[in-house]
Structure 1
Amino acid sequence: MLTAVTGINWGDEGKGRVIDLLAGPADVVVRYQGGNNAGHTVVTEQGKFILNLIPSGILHSGVTCVLGDGMVVDLEHLENEIQKLWEKDVAVSPKNLKISTRATISMPWHRIQDELEEDRLARSRAAFGSTRRGIAYAYSDKYRKKTLRMGDLLRLDEENMKARLKMMLDAKNMELAGCYHQEPMSFPALYKWCEEQAEKFKAYICDTGEFLDESLKKGKKVILEAQLGAMRDIDYGIFPYTSSSSTIAAYAPIGAGIPAHVPDHIVGVLKAYSTCVGAGPFVAETAMPQSWLDMLRRLGGEYGAATGRPRRVGPVDIPASCYGLKCQNADKIALTKLDVLSAFTEIPVITGYRYGDQVTGRFDPGCDLEKYEPVVETVPGWQQSISKCRTWEELPDNAKAYIALLEKLLDHEIQFISVGAKRDEYLLKGSWI
């Protein structure tokens, strides 16, 4: 069985904990896009884990994790991530972590370019809110055919590979010197860096597409893990305030390396309120007073898993969520962090947008969203802890009413509800996977 887990909104929806749940009975978990510019947070008996590149399934023994074709991989960050897992006695080896030969390498200059350009834009207050981890530049060079893929590390001694490396370095030195007045990088230093990375990761690199095909033929359960959400998709998100890859479930088999397959299930993950990291229009943060937003951020611990930046927060945004749900074509919805709303006497819900004299329930990422005002309705809160609830019947009536309202507005049943950060703090309603 093939299941994709994707984000309905801006990312940070809590996909990590949903994947962690699904990974328990699974055999393989695959990251299919993105790099180390976002993170999945999972809390287990061993503590809190923040995973930027390695799939959340790594916390389950018996699960094989794959970095798929569609990813960009910062190898120095990956080494550090593996080291941190080892320090917490989590096994990571070529037996349970495989890296696609087709995955793109985030080269040392990609971070440098990202930082230099974001600094330049910041001086004119035009920055994109980049994580400064070089993701956009790695993807840009992928499509310009001026970077390496993981499989290239296995044939560094070939003359045509050395020639390609020299061509890339010459082009990059011209960019960095001409645009940013940087000192040129040397070929011997670059080649040595590549040799070091090849030595560290050669045992992990393989044809993961063939591995996944064989796994599915044998009836194994495979989870496809997205990074970020629909609003950050390069084509369907709020351009240009997007990521640089496709977060959409339809791309999942392609980015995983199994383009001939179609997911049996798509799980869309939706937070019980809205959050956003980075620049760009975010209507939800204008819906409530700053004191309310500050309280929500504090109670939810809303700080970026990759960067530590405070997340922008607001009430759940129904027009945006309906759009994200349509993009992802999810047949299952997981609602996360419902427990965070337990402290509020009233809970706001954005049901539409006002633009001049017009009110609309339609979300269009190409519109001038900065000029939209949220239309807000409020419902009574439940004001009691729900972290011990394990069945639908145990939830307070007002919590049930809030979920029922979301289901009505989204025109979709919610099957998974998280009531706390710990692994067992959730309940199921309706038919799950």
Structure 2
Amino acid sequence: MLTAVTGINWGDEGKGRVIDLLAEQADIVVRYQGGNNAGHTVVVGRDKYVLNLLPSGILHPDVTCVLGDGMVIDLEHLTKEIEALRGKGIPITPENLKLSKRATISMPWHRVQDELEEARLEKDGSAFGSTRRGIAYAYSDKYRKKTLRLGDLLHLNEGYIHNRLHMMLDAKNMELSGCYHQEPMSYPALLSWCEKQAAAFSAYICDTGAFLRNALADHKKVLLEAQLGAMRDIDYGIFPYTSSSSTISAYGPIGAGIPGAPLSHVVGVLKAYSTCVGAGPFTAEKAMSESWKDDLRRAGNEYGAATGRPRRVGPFDAVASRYGLQCQNADRIALTKLDVLSSMKEIPIITEYLQHTKHIMDFDPTDNMDNLLPVIDIVPGWQQDISHCRSYDELPDNAKRYIETIEKLLDHEIQFISVGAERNQYLTKGEWL
């Protein structure tokens, strides 16, 4: 069985929470795109784990994790992430972590370029809100064929790799010195860096596509983990304020290394309200006062898992969510952080947008979205703790009403509801997985 877990909105929907739960029944968890520019937070007892590159399944001892073909991998960051988990007693070996030989390496200069360009754009207020971790530049060089893939580290003693390294470095030094007046990088330093990464990761690098094909043939349960959400997809998101990869479930098998493999299920993850990290149109934040948003941000601890940046927040946005659901083609929906709304006497929901006097029901990221205003409906809150609820019937009537209002606006049932950060703080209804 092949299941993808994807974000319906701007990312930070709580996918890590859902993946961690589903990983209990999975054999393999695969990250299929993105890099270390976002993260998943998983709470296990008193421990909180922030994972930027490693799949959430790494916290389960019987699960094998894969970093797939479609990723860009910062090996220095991966080293730190592995060391941090080992420090908490999580074993990581070539048996439970496999790195695709086709995955792209985020080279040392990619972070440098990202930082320099974002700083340049900030001067006139046109920055993209980048995490400055080099993701866009790694993907750019992937498509320009001017970077390495992980499998190349296994062949550093061969002449053709040296020729490519010289070509790449010459081109990069011309960019960095000519555009940003930086000191050129040296070839010996670059080769030394590559040799260090090869020594650390050679045992982990393999043909993960073959590994996954064999696993599916043996009827293993494989879970595909997306980074970010539909609004950050390079093709279907709020371009240019997107990530540089495809966050869409249909890309999952391709980015995992098993193109053509059919998905059994797509789990789309929604948050019970709207959040966004980074620049770009975000109509939901226009709906409420600054004090309302500050209260929600504190209640939900809405700060980026990768960067610590405060997230932009607003009410649940049915217009954007319908679009994200369409993009992801989800047959299951997980709703997270319902408990965060428990203190509210009244809860707003965005039902449509207004453009001057025109009512907008459909989300179109190719339109000018800056002049859209949200239209909200108010539903009554429940104002009581729901973190102890383990069945739908145990929820207060107004909490059920809130869920059912969202279901009606999306024309889709919600099967999973998170009522707290702990592993056991959730409930299901209808046909789950």
TM-score range with shorter-chain normalisation?
Answer: over 0.9
Instruction: Give the distance between the partners of 1:288 and 1:56, measured in 2 at CA.
Output: 34
Aligned twin of 2:211:
211
Question: In the TM superposition, what is the alpha-carbon distance from 1:352 to its structure 2 partner?
Answer: 0.3
Q: Aligned pair 1:72/2:76, yes or no?
A: no
Cα distance in structure 2, aligned partners of 1:308 and 1:403 = 29
CA displacement 1:296-333 (0-9 Å, x = unmatched): 00000000000000000000000000000000000000
Alpha-carbon shift at residue 280 of structure 1 (Å)? 0.5
Match of 1:145 in 2: 145
* Number of equivalent positions: 433
Q: Give the corresponding residue for 1:344.
A: 344
Residue 390 of structure 1 is matched in structure 2 by 390
SS at match of 2:235: coil
What displacement does 1:260 show? Answer: 1.9
Amino acid at match of 1:377: D
Structure 1 residue 146 displacement after superposition: 0.1
Instruction: Spell out the pairing of 1:50-199 with structure 2 (5 A cutoff).
Output: 50-199=50-199
Query: Are the equivalent residues in 2 in contact too, given 1:40–1:50 (CA < 8 A)?
Result: yes
1:81 maps to amino acid:
E
Check conservation: 1:3, 1:265, Cα contact below 8 A: yes
How much has 1:45 moved relative to structure 2? 2.4
Contact 1:82 1:92 in 2 (8 A): yes
Aligned to 1:220: 220
Distance 1:370 1:45 in 2: 42
Give SS of 1:385's match.
coil
Give the structure 2 partner of residue 29 of structure 1: 29
Residue 281 of structure 1 aligns with which residue? 281
Query: Deviation digits for residues 67-124 of structure 1, max 9, x if unmatched?
Result: 0000000000000000000000001110100000000000000000000000000001
Q: How does 1:37-56 map to 2 (within 5 A)?
A: 37-45=37-45, 47-56=47-56
Taking the aligned partners of 1:25 and 1:363, their CA distance within structure 2 comes to 35
Q: Which secondary structure state, in structure 1, belongs to the residue aligned with residue 405 of structure 2?
A: helix
SS in 2 for 1:259: coil
Q: Which residue of 1 aligns with 2:20?
A: 20
Q: 1:68 and 1:262 mapped to 2: Cα distance?
A: 17
Q: CA RMSD in A?
A: 0.4
The 1-side partners of 2:251 and 2:124 are apart by 35
Q: State whether residues 46 and 88 of structure 1, in contact with CA within 8 Å, keep that contact through their aligned partners in structure 2.
A: no
The answer to whether the aligner puts 1:373 opposite 2:373 as a matched pair is yes
The answer for unaligned runs of 5 or more in structure 1 is none
SS of 2:203's equivalent in the other structure is coil
Please state how far the C-alpha of 1:239 moved relative to its aligned partner.
Answer: 0.2
2:194 is paired with a residue whose SS is helix
Identity fraction in percent: 72
Q: Please give the alpha-carbon distance, in whole angstroms, between the structure 1 residues aligned to 2:45 and 2:196.
A: 35
Residue 265 of structure 2 corresponds to which residue in structure 1? 265
Match of 1:355 in 2: 355
Secondary structure of 2:421's counterpart equals: coil
Matched residue of 1:320: which SS?
A: helix
For 2:240 and 2:260, how far apart are their aligned partners in 1? Answer: 30
Give the distance between the partners of 1:20 and 1:416, measured in 2 at CA. Answer: 14
Three-state SS of the structure 1 residue aligned to 2:342 is: helix
- Counterpart AA for 2:268: G
Alpha-carbon distance between aligned partners in 2 of 1:173 and 1:329, rounded to the nearest angstrom: 43
Write the letter of the residue equivalent to 2:266. I
Kindly report which structure 2 residues correspond to 1:302-317, keeping only aligned pairs within 5 A, or say none. Answer: 302-317=302-317
Deviation at 1:46, TM superposition (A): 5.5
Q: TM-score if structure 2 supplies the norm length?
A: 1.00
Rate the CA distance shift 1:340–1:221 in 2: closer, same or farther, 3 A.
same
Give SS of 2:122's match: helix
The one-letter amino acid paired with 1:192 is S
- The alignment partner of 1:374 has SS state of strand
Using the size of structure 1 for normalisation, the TM-score is 1.00
Partner AA of 1:365 in structure 2 = P
Distance 2:145 2:78 in 1: 23
Where in structure 2 are there 5+ consecutive unaligned residues?
Answer: none
C-alpha distance in structure 2 between counterparts of 1:409 and 1:109, whole Å: 46
| Dislocated runs of 4+, deviation >2 Å | none
